């Protein structure tokens, strides 16, 4: 398995995989969010990295790495990066794909000198919660938010280095 940047010809397929995986959790809230999940090009244009897990030339997962404040930052604080839209093809879950994608984000945040990596997850995403805890993330209920439509968004974070400050600088994204 190789984790690498998404290729232009893979963006549509990754978008559909992301919508399919999220549909299982978000159900009714997905109507307004589906186009955001599909639009890897917009995330790239905003300065995010969109990474995929490639197994033998087949994209089996993806994640968006948000390097700092901007339109895709939801729960970020100063000196942090954020992980968004982590998905693994249901046929490939339980094979370490999610772990590799999260580790790639941790590596990028560390290489950029960030003090931490933060992410938001839905309460129903219990397998993801176990993954995050196993990789050293901590649940941060004081930083929880909501997705459009009012569903809860739980915050997890992992400290990478001593952060210089903890003031909120992220833009609460409608995405």
**pLDDT tens string 33-81:** 788 888 999 999 999 999 999 999 999 999 999 999 999 999 999 899 9
Q: Rg of the chain over CA atoms, in angstroms?
A: 15
90: exposed, middle or buried (Cβ count in 10 Å: 0-12, 13-18, 19+): exposed
CA dist., res. 174 & res. 33, Å (int):
9
In this predicted model, what pLDDT tens digit does every residue of 84-109 receive, in sequence order?
Answer: 999 999 999 999 999 999 999 999 99
pLDDT at 167: 42
Give the single-character DSSP code of 168.
B
CA dist., res. 120 & res. 75, Å (int):
7
pLDDT at 149: 66
Contacts (Cβ under 8 Å, ≥6 apart) of 164: 78, 79, 115
Q: Which domains does the chain have, with CATH numbers?
A: 2-159 (3.40.630.30)
Contact yes or no for 18/87 (Cβ under 8 A): yes
Q: Is the pLDDT of residue 29 over 70?
A: no
Give the Cβ contact number of residue 174 at 10 Å.
11
pLDDT at 64: 98
**C-alpha atoms less than 13 angstroms from C-alpha of 70 in its C-beta half-sphere:** 17
In this predicted model, what pLDDT tens digit does every residue of 161-170 receive, in sequence order?
Answer: 754 444 444 4
pLDDT at 169: 44
CA dist., res. 136 & res. 109, Å (int):
14
In this predicted model, what pLDDT tens digit does every residue of 137-166 receive, in sequence order?
Answer: 999 999 998 876 677 899 999 999 754 444
Q: Of all residues in the chain, what percent carry a pLDDT higher than 70?
A: 88
């Amino acid at each position: 398995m190789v984790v690498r940047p998404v290729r232009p010809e893979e963006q549509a397929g990754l978008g559909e995989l992301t919508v399919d995986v999220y549909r299982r959790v978000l159900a009714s809230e997905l109507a307004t969010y589906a186009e955001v999940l599909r639009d890897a090009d917009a995330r790239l244009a905003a300065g995010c990295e969109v990474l995929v897990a490639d197994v033998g030339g087949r994209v089996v997962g993806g994640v968006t790495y948000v390097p700092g404040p901007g339109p895709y930052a939801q729960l970020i604080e100063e000196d942090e990066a954020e992980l968004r839209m982590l998905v693994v093809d249901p046929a490939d879950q339980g094979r370490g794909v999610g772990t590799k994608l999260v580790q790639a984000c941790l590596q990028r945040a560390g290489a950029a000198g960030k003090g931490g990596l933060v992410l938001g997850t839905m309460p129903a995403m219990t397998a993801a919660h176990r993954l995050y805890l196993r990789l050293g993330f901590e649940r941060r209920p004081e930083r929880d938010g909501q997705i459009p439509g009012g569903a809860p968004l739980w915050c997890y974070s992992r400290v990478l280095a001593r952060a210089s400050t903890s003031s909120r600088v992220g833009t609460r994204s409608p995405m």
